Amino acid sequence: MFLSEQARIASMQLPPEIRPHQSVPLLQALHILTRDGKLNQDSRRKLKQVYHLVNFIEPLLNDVLSAESNPVLVDHGAGKSYLGFILYDLLLKQLSVGHVIGIETRADLVEKSQALAQACAFERMAFQHLSVAESMVADTIPKKVDIVTALHACNTATDDAIQFGITKQAQYMVLVPCCQAEVAEVMRLHKAESLSSTSLSELWRHPIHTREFGSHVTNVLRCLQLEAHGYQVTVTELVGWEHSMKNELIIAKWINQPKRSAQQRRTEILQAFNLESLSSRFS
């Protein structure tokens, strides 16, 4: 950055939301701050949402940092990487350890994020043009990952992120699922059969209910899957995420206590809703 530009930024009256030592050029590049250092209504909301999530992740990162000398966080379906960048800027920039890897299938977004990380000298931040499923077996990803995040990763990408976390022995997973159509589709296929055998099928008889109930069942199966693999699961609402209907926040902490009852209930739910064909998805 030229000196004159640095002086211009230093002379700006920044909004109170901007924290000391936060990178103004980064926030400008993410179109959160205008060139004059202002926040508009939309970007103020976006920043509030990302801060909210960073607040959830900060104690998890501190916990991991107390045990792991150089932790790795992988963000799946990174998109424009608002979360990864702001997380790095606020929590990791001043440390000499900790890596953030963004996984994204859109090559243009990967290129832009790589260029921005370089421009900000965020040396421990990288982006890879891979699907979540590909990243599971890619030799460019460390064998062990400490924290997995997936925010509105489309459809079954959240399920792949869970598999990724289990395979990479992640200590924490922070998931805000997007709509998942796969379960609802299988429920739809078996609807006539369910209607003739159980009055509970009224819960998903109407198409809009099939979609919503399918989405709910998906998240329930995800939680049971995580518990069956030794995670403690907290499900809460991502308050402040007003722009999206999908604001369920699933936080999983590995406590090494696989729950046999969760495994059993997962199997029973798959049977009750004629979802056995999806058994491997939630195993």
Ligand X SMILES: C[S@@+](CC[C@H](N)C(=O)[O-])C[C@H]1O[C@@H](n2cnc3c(N)ncnc32)[C@H](O)[C@@H]1O
Which residues here bind ligand X, judged by CB under 6 A?
76-79, 82, 103-106, 109, 131-132, 151-154, 157
DSSP the chain: --HHHHHHHHT----TTSPTT--HHHHHHTTSB-TTS-B-HHHHHHHHHHHHHHHHHHHHHHHHHHH-SS-EEEEET-TT-HHHHHHIIIIITTSS--EEEEEES-HHHHHHHHHHHHHTT-TTEEEEE--HHHHHH-TTS-S--SEEEEES-TTTHHHHHHHHHHHTT-SEEEEE-----HHHHHHHHTHHHHHHH-GGGGGG-SHHHHHHHHHHHHHHHHHHHHHHTTEEEEEEE-TT-TT-S--EEEEEEE-S---HHHHHHHHHHHHHTT-GGGGGGG-
Least distance (Å) between residue 80 CB and ligand X: 6
Least distance (Å) between residue 117 CB and ligand X: 16
* Closest C-alpha to 246, from 169, 162, 154: 154
Least distance (Å) between residue 15 CB and ligand X: 21
Least distance (Å) between residue 76 CB and ligand X: 6
Q: Which is nearer to ligand X, 77 or 214 (CB)?
A: 77
Q: Which is nearer to ligand X, 126 or 132 (CB)?
A: 132
Least distance (Å) between residue 79 CB and ligand X: 2
Least distance (Å) between residue 226 CB and ligand X: 19
Q: Which is nearer to ligand X, 68 or 248 (CB)?
A: 248
64-96 burial: b if 16+ Cβ within 10 Å, else e: bbeeeeebbbbbbbbbbbbbbbbbbbbbbbeee
Least distance (Å) between residue 36 CB and ligand X: 25
Structure tokens at 231: 């995670």
Least distance (Å) between residue 257 CB and ligand X: 30
- Chain residue whose CB lies nearest ligand X: 79
Query: Cβ of 36: how many Cβ atoms within 10 Å?
Result: 9
